[in-house]
Every structure is written in C-alpha cells, then in structure tokens.
C-alpha cells in the first residue's frame, strides 16, 4: 500500500491496510476490531464505509493495531483530527500541524502547495502582477497593489510562487507564469483554504464600493428558485467563468489586475410547496 503521507482520508488508509492484510493472510474485521479494542466486530468496517466516525480518542488504538509508530502514528492521529474538526480554523490547524510534522521528517505532503496558495489573496494577486512588471522590485509591486502589502511580503510571496512552480524567471530575470490559468485541485484541504481566500476577497469587494463606477462592476438579483433552476444557473455560472478565463488568457499583456467574484447563495430557509404559505 502507499505511504501514509499520500493519504488525506484516514478511512481510505484503514481500508487499504485491511485489504493489504486480507490479501496476505486470514485477516478479518473481527480480528482487526479485537486488536484495536472495539467490542463490535464490524465497527471499523462501518468507519471505512462512512457509517461511523473514528474519534480522536480511539485513533491511537487503531494506529497501534495497524503497527504505526513514531511519525506515522502521530500523522494518523492528525488525519483523524482534521477529518472531524468542527471549524475551518481547527481544520486548518490540524492540516498545518500535519505538514509541519512531515516537513520535520523531510517528507512532502500532497496538497500543501495548493493549500498555501489559496489561503492568502497575496499569492493570486502577485502571480498576476509580477509578470506584467518586468524588472520591478518588490517595493514597486507592493505599491502597485490596492491592498496593503509590504515589500518583504511581496518577496516572500514571490519565493513561494517560484518554489510552488507557479512562477519562474526567464533569461532576463523577469517573472513569467508557468501556466496561463490554474484551477482548484481535488485535495481535500484546499477548499478549507479557499474559503479563507473567498472571505478575504469578499471583504475587498465591499471596500471597492468606494471606487468610481467606471472602475468597478457590481449588480445583483434576489430570485425565487426551484432546485432545478438553481442547478441550471450553477452550470451557467461555471460556463461563464470558463469563457471569462478564455478571454483573459487570449492576451499576454495586462493593464491592471482584477478580481471577479460571483455569488449565488440562499437568503431564506426552504419554503416547501405548501399551498397558502
């Protein structure tokens, strides 16, 4: 089976461990449960199927039953902590602790670069800005940003973007994008960081109301929708984003860095179809 750091889902890790043992011996869910100290023979089977959750308190027993020690033991506990964290901040802390643990053992965690990219507005803005300011120093880039950012922060952001292979330097020492556009990956930690980015960009959108109308476009509708209409509109929005990215990437030059936000969210609870409501 794969190395533990290649997993983001502890259920999948347990299932793969079981399947591996089952192929090589007469291993059973009963034997596995007994070894981990569970009275129910099928408890761990239900955990893998998503019917039950493994608590952080019992994660240690399961890790020991699978023969995990040292780094791998701690890493498994953090996978469970991440999966059942009650808030984005708790999930973020568990993921970052997992990454720090892996880094201390010189092991790369899949999704760390994506997580780090999406957790701050600075990365996406500097990724767009730097290639269009050839020869510019970090202080010049900082001054070109609408939002407050220091030259040191710009330097750190550039270093990260190069390390993450999102920017590279050409023969003249200027920054160029490695890809015209990037999309969010399937790593489970990425949406947690992306929500932070969306909150930041939402706050910036409110601040942009102070800009002249010639520099911003904002409009909105309040709509009554069926679930079917909602799904159709979601698809239209996805197609619209795709067309916008295609337009933006047609040209290599840029006059300014923009942020495009679109939101579609409920403003009421479900109404049902009761007549006379």
CA atoms within 13 A on the CB side of 206: 5
% of the chain at pLDDT higher than 90: 52
Distance from first CA to last CA of the chain, Å, rounded?
56
d(CA 72, CA 62): 12
pLDDT, tens only, 50-98: 999 999 999 999 999 999 998 889 989 999 999 998 888 888 888 888 8
Instruction: Tell me whether domains 4-110 and 117-215 share a fold.
Output: no
Task: Tell the residue number behind the tokens 């579609």, with chain if given.
Answer: 264
Per-domain boundaries in the chain? 4-110, 117-215
Q: Which residues contact 112 (CB under 8 A, 6 or more apart)?
A: 99
Phi, psi of 26 (to 5 degrees): -90, 35
DSSP 141-203: HHHH-SS---HHHHHHHHHHHHHTTSEEE-TTS-EEESSS-----S-TTHHHHHHHHHHHHHH
Residue 118: pLDDT band (50, 70, 90) is confident
Q: Is 108 helix (H, G, I), strand (E, B) or coil?
A: coil
Please indicate whether residue 159 or residue 24 has the higher confidence score (pLDDT): 159
Query: Does position 268 have pLDDT exceeding 90, yes or no?
Result: no
pTM: 0.62
CATH class, domain 4-110, is: mainly alpha
Q: Which residues contact 157 (CB under 8 A, 6 or more apart)?
A: 120, 122, 123, 126
d(CA 9, CA 11): 5
Query: Does position 188 have pLDDT exceeding 80, yes or no?
Result: no
Assign a CATH topology to domain 117-215.
Arc Repressor Mutant, subunit A (1.10.10)
Find the mean pLDDT for residues 26-32: 92
pLDDT, tens only, 246-265: 888 888 889 999 999 988 98
Q: Which residues contact 77 (CB under 8 A, 6 or more apart)?
A: 56, 59, 60, 63
Which stretch of 197-201, 265-269, 271-275 has the lowest confidence by average pLDDT? Answer: 271-275
Residue 277: pLDDT band (50, 70, 90) is very low
Mean residue pLDDT across the chain: 88
Find the mean pLDDT for residues 134-143: 94
Query: Does position 38 have pLDDT exceeding 50, yes or no?
Result: yes
What was the pLDDT predicted at 190? 67
């Amino acid at each position: 089976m794969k190395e533990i750091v290649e997993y983001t889902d502890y259920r999948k890790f347990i299932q793969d461990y079981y399947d591996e043992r089952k192929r090589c011996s007469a291993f059973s869910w009963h034997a596995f449960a007994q070894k981990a100290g569970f009275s129910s023979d099928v408890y761990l089977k239900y955990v893998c199927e998503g019917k039950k959750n493994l608590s952080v308190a019992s994660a240690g027993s399961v890790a020991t039953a699978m023969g995990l020690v040292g780094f791998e033991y701690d890493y498994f506990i953090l996978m469970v902590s991440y999966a059942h964290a009650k808030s984005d901040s708790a999930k973020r802390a568990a993921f970052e602790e997992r990454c720090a643990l892996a880094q201390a053992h010189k092991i790369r965690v899949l999704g760390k670069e994506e997580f780090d990219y999406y957790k701050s507005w600075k990365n996406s803005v500097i990724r767009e800005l730097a290639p269009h300011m050839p020869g510019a120093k970090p202080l010049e880039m900082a001054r070109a940003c609408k939002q407050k950012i220091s030259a040191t922060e710009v330097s750190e952001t550039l270093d990260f973007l190069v390390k993450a292979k999102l920017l590279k330097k050409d023969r003249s020492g200027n920054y160029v994008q490695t890809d015209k556009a990037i999309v969010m990956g399937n790593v489970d930690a990425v949406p947690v960081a992306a929500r932070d980015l969306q909150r930041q960009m939402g706050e910036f959108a409110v601040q942009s109301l102070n800009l002249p109308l010639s520099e911003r476009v904002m409009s909105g509708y309040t709509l009554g929708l069926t679930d079917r209409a909602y799904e159709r509109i979601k698809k239209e929005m996805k197609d619209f984003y795709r067309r916008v990215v295609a337009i933006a990437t047609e040209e290599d030059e840029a006059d300014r860095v923009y942020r495009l936000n679109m939101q579609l969210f409920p403003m009421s609870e479900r109404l049902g179809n009761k007549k006379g409501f």
